[in-house]
Amino acid sequence: MFTQLSITILLLPLLGFLLLIFFGKRLPRQGDWLGSGLVSISFLLSLYLLITKITAHAHEVFTFTFSWAVVGSMNVEFGILFDNLTAVMLVVVTLVSTLVHFFSMGYMKDDVRYSRYYAYLGFFSFSMLGIVITDNLLLMYVFWELVGLSSYLLIGHYYEKKTASNAANKAFIVNRVGDFGMFLGIMILFVNFSTFTFESIFASISAGQLPFGSEGWMTAAGILIFCGAVGKSAQFPLHVWLPDAMEGPTPVSALIHAATMVAAGVYLVARVFPMLTADALMVIAYIGAITALIAATIAITQYDIKKVLAYSTISQLGYMIMALGVGAYTAGFMHLVTHAAFKAGLFLGSGSVIYAMHKVLHDQNDHHTDAQDIRNMGGLKSKMPVTYWTFLIFTLAISGIPLTSGFLSKDEILAGSWAFSSLNGHWILPVVGFAVAGLTAFYMFRLLILTFHGKPADESRFEAIKESPAVMTIPLMVLATLSLFVFYSFNPFGAASGWFFNAIERPMSMVPELLQPASNAVFHDALHHVHTPAMILSILIALGGIGFAFTVYQWKKINPESLAQKAGFLYKGAFNKWYFDEMYDKVFVNGLHMLTRISKWFDENIIDRIVNGSAVVVRGLATISGWIDQNIVDGLVNATAETANRAGGLLSKIQTGKVQTYLVYVVFSFLVLFILFM
């Protein structure tokens, strides 16, 4: 049942894509109801499977496998893997996709490529679901690339805008860098184990078989596969594509860059977790911590509402990756799930604000005011109450305030990093974790206050603003409800007591101890000792960040401009995104241009000269050969012909054609011979 329904869940969005891409414009409302209906069915089936799996089948694993190709002794198999990880992820992907489909009915209703937009949403959902349910690395890589293609199409939806087409290209190219590393890691495993299937690879490692008999190669394979997550989940140093991807429609930002595509990298690390060595996990933990800190510092300084949320997403993804790296497996994956709800809500909430701003600016024929700049907003609380209160819940959740889902998962991540450092001495990880928690609370409430509180930037514009339609606000209310703690644990201060922690356990029992940083028992014991102080400290830091945001932006006790001036180069660096784009442009883009110029010079001055020199030599040889042919070879041929001609002329005088003459020649010849031999 589980594998069959998983295939149905996978194929329904694909069916929607095919119908809409070919017949969308001929259908009523250009087929938005069709795409939304099919993905809604996928969600309901996913929810049914999750409830059934968690309640009746505990930790059973269901698989369906078939042979795809047999090459010698190697049998390449494809199949479906359905476990608790799959069940949870299916619900996350289909739920967010369904809500985005319905939200888009209001946000995108006048779009010129409306049916194509819905078709691409279905194609993306299909690709993402394929990553979730596959049982092997090769098929995951295929769907991985399809996700890259579908995200390219959605980010570049407004392709007539140069910024949008450039953003789509940037996302596609940057992701290919990480995907190349992932492919190399997959090949290392396949060469050694002759299989792509997760369970077979894990079983071989559990039996003590390592790639080329070396733990170093096992570490290399794990880090290379993690490169795929670095690209998809926008981790340092490949994080630069995600903020630019905000050029796509805002519902796309909610779908791709908050809950699903960027979560694919985290899901990949969770799926291959049993094969990651201690050294690989250490690299993963530090990459996550660096990403979380860099993105949080940039988010503080941005004024584009979607850019703030984009860097917030990168930072939270860093949190998840760091959690997996330190061994807080369940906390990291739980944060993926909780983050999907409140970050999708934040993006859709920003979409509601942008929709209202755009509508007013369009009615006022104002084409100069940026509808996404929070400095042009303010005071929207009274005009958009549903958007505001849901946005507030999402902001509290991402800040890690008690009674929200974000508190449960973030508290466990911070406790996990603290426990890890107590066992290994890497104290920089929890320090970064707690610092980012404070920064997150600050920049999110900065965004909330500047957008919804205070006085409006323009009173005339403010009067015309009104709440978004129900088709857009209902998804916000659903996501706000899912951002409360009760859906994950009945204990508001203890995520570990909820069903989620019981369902998603750290998968270490099948792997040799040398490949893991600490056993389950040791890690959980350390976690138990630091949980309470970590929880108290995280709450205090979050409240401190919120209080500071209110002091600066609500009560205006501190001038933010003076703070920026005092921060000096730190503020300037963060505002300019630490110059990563400029650095990459100079090193890689300009470097590539320089390489092409060098190649052009080499081609024109070396290769072409060799070719042209060869042509001169060949032409000279051809001239000499022609002279020899005309003056020697042809002379000999002509002389031979002339000799033959003259000989023929002489013989023609003898060859008279008269019998009598020939008889005289015979008699004469006979007499001559007779005289000679006598």
Instruction: Check pLDDT > 80 for residue 157.
Output: yes
Instruction: Check pLDDT > 90 for residue 94.
Output: yes
**Which residues, in sequence order, are bridge partners of residue 307?**
none
Distance CA 368, CA 358 (A): 11
pLDDT tens digits for range 521-545: 777 788 888 889 999 999 999 999 9
Residue-level pLDDT at 65: 85
Q: Where are the domains of the chain?
A: 136-575, 582-677
Tokens representing residue 326 in the block: 């330190």
Instruction: Check pLDDT > 80 for residue 651.
Output: no
Distance CA 603, CA 620 (A): 24
Calculate the CA 416 to chain-centre distance.
Answer: 26
pLDDT band at 625 (very low <50, low <70, confident <90, very high): confident
Residue-level pLDDT at 367: 67
Lowest mean pLDDT among 51-60, 212-221, 496-505, 507-516: 507-516
DSSP assignment letter at 196: -
On average, the pLDDT of the chain sits at 88
Residue-level pLDDT at 259: 66
Q: Dihedral sign, CA of 371, 234, 328, 59? A: positive
Instruction: Check pLDDT > 90 for residue 403.
Output: yes
Instruction: Check pLDDT > 70 for residue 379.
Output: yes
pLDDT band at 511 (very low <50, low <70, confident <90, very high): very low
Residue-level pLDDT at 516: 52
Distance CA 492, CA 505 (A): 20
For residue 169, give the amino acid letter. Answer: N
Q: What is the mean pLDDT of residues 425-452?
A: 95
Lowest mean pLDDT among 122-126, 258-262, 295-299: 258-262
Residue 402: other Cβ atoms inside 10 A? 16
pLDDT tens digits for range 40-79: 999 999 999 999 998 888 788 898 888 887 777 777 888 9
What residues contact 564, with CB distance under 8 A and at least 6 apart?
A: 301, 571, 575
pLDDT band at 474 (very low <50, low <70, confident <90, very high): very high
pTM of the prediction? Answer: 0.88
Residue-level pLDDT at 512: 46
Residue 587: other Cβ atoms inside 10 A? 10
Q: Which residue has the tokens 């991807």?
A: 245
Distance CA 223, CA 225 (A): 5
Most confident of the ranges 51-65, 307-321, 451-465: 307-321
Instruction: Check pLDDT > 80 for residue 612.
Output: yes
SS3 75: strand
Instruction: Check pLDDT > 70 for residue 549.
Output: yes
Cβ-count burial of 670 within 10 angstroms (0-12 exposed, 13-18 middle, 19+ buried)? exposed
pLDDT band at 515 (very low <50, low <70, confident <90, very high): very low
Instruction: Check pLDDT > 90 for residue 365.
Output: no
Q: What is the mean pLDDT of residues 452-473?
A: 87
Higher pLDDT, 37 or 505: 37
Q: Which residue has the tokens 């323009």?
A: 458
Tokens representing residue 453 in the block: 């509180």
Distance CA 139, CA 38 (A): 24
Higher pLDDT, 581 or 494: 581
Residue-level pLDDT at 74: 73
Q: What is the mean pLDDT of residues 466-483?
A: 93
Comparing CA positions, the residue from 316, 260, 263, 570 lying closest to residue 441 is: 316
Q: How many CA atoms lie within 13 A of 505 on its CB side?
A: 14
Instruction: Check pLDDT > 60 for residue 514.
Output: no
Query: How far is the CA of 4 from the CAs of 11, 387, 463, in angstroms?
Result: 11, 39, 54
pLDDT band at 678 (very low <50, low <70, confident <90, very high): low
SS3 assignment for 595-626: HHHHHHHHHHHHHHHHHHHHHHHHHHHHHHHH
Q: Which residue has the tokens 């998809």?
A: 232
